[in-house]
């Protein structure tokens, strides 16, 4: 998440005329005639959308310390988990476990279908993490997560607002949990992260530098052949079946696999935090933005 809560509380409502801003869509990836639809508002700050096998989307309201569930069939939102460890970015494993960046205690969690959590990572080299932010689970198993520093007001009395680690890095945790190591140590502030469905490439947004990079994934989890993907950072990210990459911040901006901008989806909020594809057919773009969540019907579809 990009913004401190002290700043979030100062944001005023977006003028209603911005709702009429037109979608820029060079490659016709949005369903013809589709409009951005408000699902629900009234949250404090929404983040971390993760899609389940049946297409429901779980997302966080981090300041209120809850994980919510959007039912893709009836379009209703319910509370899935209270006391959610201030969960931020999330992602589902193939067996239905919800992986969560729980930055209240600088941890990475695994949450079962009943909402019971297990701590997967609590430290690296005997020191706390800065605050896990976003996570992607690769198809072969194991997961990558970013660990920037965003001081939180709820850390008061728990920890300082200084770096716990020697920088802001990207990590890999092996499927069995036996190995945890850094895979990118030269970024300013890594944030959004997403991989390709074949598990060959990883995109990491360096929101501090205003850039997104593409890496090749080795069998052992290490990253090689770093290359600049586009001159834009991102909070959260997703990818579709055409290889297009969706970045967030000022609405949703879409780049093709070559890094060319092909679409921009305006969102009536001061900050768009994250995005994923929901519904059983994965053709509903689900967007978290400030105090609300939105959907948009797409021609493209998400990938598992």
Question: What are the structural domain ranges in the chain?
Answer: 5-297
Q: Tell me what pLDDT residue 161 has.
A: 67
Average pLDDT, the chain: 92
Give tens-digit pLDDT for 72-104.
999 999 999 999 999 999 999 999 999 999 999
Closest Cα partner for 235 from 265, 205, 263, 269? 205
Mean per-residue pLDDT, 200-223: 98
Q: What is the C-alpha separation between 20 and 168, in angstroms, rounded?
A: 38
Give tens-digit pLDDT for 243-280.
999 999 999 999 999 999 999 999 999 999 999 999 99
Give tens-digit pLDDT for 138-148.
999 999 999 99
5-297: CATH number? 2.120.10.30
Q: Tell me what pLDDT residue 159 has.
A: 59
**Structure-token pair, residue 93:** 């494993």
φ/ψ (deg, to 5) at 63: -60, -30
Closest Cα partner for 207 from 234, 230, 175, 244? 234
Q: Tell me what pLDDT residue 158 has.
A: 56
DSSP run (H or E) holding 6: helix 5-8
Q: Tell me what pLDDT residue 4 has.
A: 38
Mean per-residue pLDDT, 230-235: 98
Confidence of residue 157 (pLDDT cuts 50, 70, 90): low
Closest Cα partner for 199 from 174, 221, 227, 226? 221
**DSSP character at residue 17:** G
Percent of the chain with pLDDT over 70: 91
Give 125: exposed, middle or buried? Use CB within 10 Å, 0-12, 13-18, 19+.
exposed
Q: Tell me what pLDDT residue 84 has.
A: 98
Confidence of residue 15 (pLDDT cuts 50, 70, 90): very low
Q: Tell me what pLDDT residue 9 has.
A: 35
Q: Residue 232 pLDDT > 90, yes or no? A: yes
């Amino acid at each position: 998440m990009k913004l401190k809560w002290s700043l979030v509380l100062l944001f005023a409502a977006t003028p209603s005329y911005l709702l009429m801003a037109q979608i820029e869509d060079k490659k016709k990836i949005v369903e013809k005639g589709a409009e951005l639809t408000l699902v629900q508002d009234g949250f404090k700050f929404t983040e971390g959308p993760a899609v389940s096998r049946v297409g429901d989307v779980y997302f966080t309201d981090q300041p209120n310390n809850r994980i919510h569930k959007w039912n893709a069939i009836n379009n209703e939102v319910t509370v899935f988990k209270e006391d959610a460890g201030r969960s931020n970015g999330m992602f589902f494993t193939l067996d239905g476990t919800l992986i969560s960046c729980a930055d209240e205690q600088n941890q990475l969690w695994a949450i079962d279908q009943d909402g019971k959590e297990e701590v997967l990572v609590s430290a690296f080299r005997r020191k706390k993490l800065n605050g896990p932010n976003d996570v992607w689970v690769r198809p072969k198993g194991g997961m990558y997560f970013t660990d920037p520093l965003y001081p939180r007001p709820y850390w008061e009395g728990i920890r300082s607002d200084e770096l716990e680690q020697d920088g802001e890095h990207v990590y890999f945790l092996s499927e069995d949990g036996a190995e945890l190591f850094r895979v990118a140590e030269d970024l300013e502030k890594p944030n959004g992260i997403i991989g390709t469905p074949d598990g060959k490439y990883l995109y990491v947004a360096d929101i501090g530098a205003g850039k997104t990079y593409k890496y090749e994934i080795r069998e052992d989890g290490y990253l090689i052949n770093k290359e600049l993907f586009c001159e834009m950072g991102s909070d959260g990210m997703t990818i579709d079946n055409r290889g297009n990459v969706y970045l967030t911040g000022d609405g949703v901006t879409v780049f093709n696999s070559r890094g060319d901008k092909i679409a921009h989806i305006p969102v009536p909020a001061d900050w768009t935090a994250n995005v994923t594809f929901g519904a059983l057919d994965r053709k509903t773009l689900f967007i978290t933005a400030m105090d609300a969540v939105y959907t948009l019907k797409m021609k493209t579809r998400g990938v598992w």
